[in-house]
Amino acid sequence: MVDKGAAGGWRATWAEIDLAAVRHNVGVLIERCSPAAVCAVVKADGYGHGSVDVARAAVDGGATWLAVALVEEGQALRDAGVDAPILLLAEPPAASMAAVRQAGLTPTLYTPDGVAAASSAGAAGGEPLVAHLKVDTGMHRVGADPADALALARAIDKAPGLRLGGTWTHLAVADDPAQASYTTAQLLRFDAVLAELRTAAIDPGLLHAANSAGALAEASSRYDMVRCGISVYGYSPVPLPDGCQSLRPALSLRSRVSLARPLAAGERVSYGLRYALAADSVVATVPLGYADGVPRRLSAVGGEVLVGGRRRPIAGTVTMDQLMVDCGPGADVAAGDEVVLLGRQGGEEITADEWAGRLDTIAYEILCGISKRVPRVVRDGP
């Protein structure tokens, strides 16, 4: 039998997903935010980690809700047997409301047309469709204007096929301490809407506002539940407060050297010949590139990989399917050696935060950018 490798593919490139790390991170969030419940955000295929596996691990770790962006994402979880409550973070298209009800998803609503469509779908079922009302308190992406929130809450409350199960908002700058006053203003607007609903004898239901940053750093934003995305995967958008356990990255990106060769000083490597060897060196080729989610520009901003427990610079432009590594003079590197792009090897570690810092982006984009052609290998522990 021909060995197709640990990842089940011919090419020795894979992403390892550590479900024990997911459970650990959810536990950290529960400890930090209790008595608020934790909702694990598993949209975008679990930030590239695999939504079904992450959802199960998050629930095992104590998360009581899950959240996705798309109806299709919620259906995929249900098809896999995930039965935890699932919140849709944006108002679903009117034509999808029957599917929302059938899958037992909780829609977010914030427009009269959305309320009408959800009401119709709910009335067609045996039980009312439970929905959450989203209020735009300053993010200005989606959500009801605070001035319109009471009318929408009334419409949901009175609709025969609907029940108001929760009210929520989203924080725009909770990850920026310099803009704490804006977060405070958002929460004050949210509280004002809640007071208006209660005065009108409307129960706002489950209350939630905090994202990962709010959950970790802003106690007043926690309400009844916190919606955590990036922190579930092991990254904090804010410095962790004193006494808070550390988070553990749940994904590592790995490959193996496909070719290693000595090259003389002055030789240039890869497209554009932009990288010149400063001395005689061993250059290793690694079979993954920008089609796999390694940004083409990473080599130009000092990107490194781990080989033999040491940091080695990416040599020249990252290509679509391969990249090269300058392993140094006389390096003992050969085909088959493991290469770590994200993760730990020996005493060294490269994180998505490191890539993000070099590329002037955020860890979210790095993780979500690891493409589908990289097999995911699920582990339960390091």
What is the edge-to-edge ordering of all strands in the sheet holding 129-134? 86-88, 65-68, 37-41, 225-228, 206-210, 162-168, 129-134, 108-109
To the nearest 10°, report the CA torsion of 256, 261, 264, 269. Answer: -50
Q: Which of 4, 158, 271, 372 is catalytic?
A: 271
Place of tokens 């990289």: 374
Query: Would residue 271 show up in a list of annotated catalytic residues for this protein?
Result: yes
Give how far Cα 138 sits from Cα of 202, 296, 363, Å: 23, 35, 24
Nearest-angstrom CA–CA distance, 381 and 350: 18
What is the residue type of 289?
Answer: G
**Angle at the Cα of 345 from the Cα atoms of 339 and 347, rounded to 5 degrees:** 145
**Angle at the Cα of 167 from the Cα atoms of 88 and 121, rounded to 5 degrees:** 50
- In the chain, DSSP assigns E strands to 13-18, 37-41, 65-68, 86-88, 108-109, 129-134, 162-168, 206-210, 225-228, 251-256, 259-263, 268-269, 275-276, 281-286, 304-307, 310-313, 323-326, 338-345, 348-350, 376-379
Q: Which of 4, 43, 233, 235 is catalytic?
A: 43
Query: Would residue 223 show up in a list of annotated catalytic residues for this protein?
Result: no
Active site residues: 43, 271
